């Protein structure tokens, strides 16, 4: 839609104003239990509502993991819909972590679920899997452009199993991951201040200098906190692209609930540490 702000523009502003932090919303059973909540719809509602109340007005980006809501059926999806609406109303951006990936009309339907402005689950961006071929993502790319949304494409993930696909070398001598990064750079060519099509790149991966991460788009970086990476690691992992990193912290923040002030203080601490690391790089 002409005239609307792109996801990349909104993301750059949100991170500059609120700090470069993405908080994951992952209401898995063990976390609900740690909060003293039952693993049921009431626990899900209480958990999600508390996170929104505590952080929606101050954190730049949230990444709800769709699966942890979907497991409760339609009532869980309704909780997710409400959270998305409330987070975006408070000025935060929502990256839906659904990792959708398919072909043809099915991929188009996934895109309509999360990237169509009239959908109750409309999000600022969606995580997607390119491993049916990057071209299979075209319906999502097109709809994201139309509605001022973005994508985060799985490229260099931190799970050990990912290497067997992502590090595989193609006939042209490039790895699969490098090919995905190249596609994203092409999508973002000429965009300012930041393109809307980013990559998922694990913060736990160490030296990535063999890869060109300068895709002129955001790099969603899980792994800080419970998975072992720290804010101070970011410049070494991401190099010159570090300012475009969207560091994701989930358990590192959420374990401080259900206390609202505990959640806020944890998020502020992570955002401050990340800002210092990025600005000092």
Residues serving a catalytic function are 99
Rounded distance between C-alpha atoms, residue 119 and residue 95, angstroms? 15
- Those residues whose C-beta lies under 8 Å from the C-beta of residue 213, and which sit 6 or more positions away, are 181, 199, 201, 219, 238, 239, 240, 241
Question: Which residues fall within 8 angstroms of residue 145, CB to CB, at 6 or more apart?
Answer: 196
Give the whole-angstrom CA distance, residue 233 versus residue 108: 37
In angstroms, rounded to a whole number, what is the distance separating the alpha carbons of residues 98 and 90? Answer: 22
For residue 243, the 8-state DSSP code is G
The whole-angstrom separation of Cα 280 and Cα 18 is 18
How many angstroms separate the Cα of 7 from the Cα of each of 114, 159, 212, 248?
14, 27, 22, 17
Say how many residues make up the chain.
281
Ramachandran region, residue 142 (left: φ > 0; alpha: ψ -120 to 50; beta: rest)? alpha
Distance CA 143, CA 155 (A): 21
Whether 103 and 132 have beta carbons less than 8 Å apart is answered as yes
The DSSP annotation for 118-130 comes to TSTT--SEEEE--
């Amino acid at each position: 839609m002409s005239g609307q702000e792109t996801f990349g523009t909104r993301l750059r502003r949100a991170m500059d104003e609120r700090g470069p932090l993405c908080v994951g919303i992952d209401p898995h059973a063990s976390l609900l239990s740690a909060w003293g909540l039952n693993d049921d719809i009431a626990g899900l509602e209480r958990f999600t509502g508390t996170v929104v109340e505590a952080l929606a007005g101050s954190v730049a980006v949230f990444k709800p993991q769709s699966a942890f809501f979907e497991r409760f059926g339609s009532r869980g999806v309704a909780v997710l819909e409400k959270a998305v609406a409330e987070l975006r109303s408070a000025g935060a951006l929502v990256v839906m972590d659904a990792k959708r990936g398919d072909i043809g009309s099915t991929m188009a339907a996934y895109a309509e679920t999360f990237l169509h402005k009239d959908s109750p689950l409309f999000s600022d961006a969606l995580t997607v899997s390119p491993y049916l071929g990057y071209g299979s993502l075209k319906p999502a790319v097109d709809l994201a452009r139309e509605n001022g949304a973005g994508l985060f494409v799985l490229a260099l993930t931190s799970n050990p199993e990912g290497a067997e696909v992502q590090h595989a070398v193609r006939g042209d001598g490039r790895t699969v991951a490098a090919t995905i990064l190249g596609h994203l750079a092409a999508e973002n060519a000429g965009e300012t201040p930041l393109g809307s099509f980013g990559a998922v790149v694990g913060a736990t991966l160490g030296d990535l200098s063999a890869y060109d991460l300068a895709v002129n788009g955001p790099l969603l970086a899980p792994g800080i906190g419970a998975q072992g990476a720290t804010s101070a690691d970011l410049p070494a992992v991401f190099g010159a692209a570090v300012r475009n990193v969207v560091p994701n912290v989930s358990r590192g923040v959420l374990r401080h609930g259900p206390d609202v002030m505990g959640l806020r203080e944890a998020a502020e601490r992570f955002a401050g540490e990340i800002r210092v690391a990025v600005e000092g790089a």
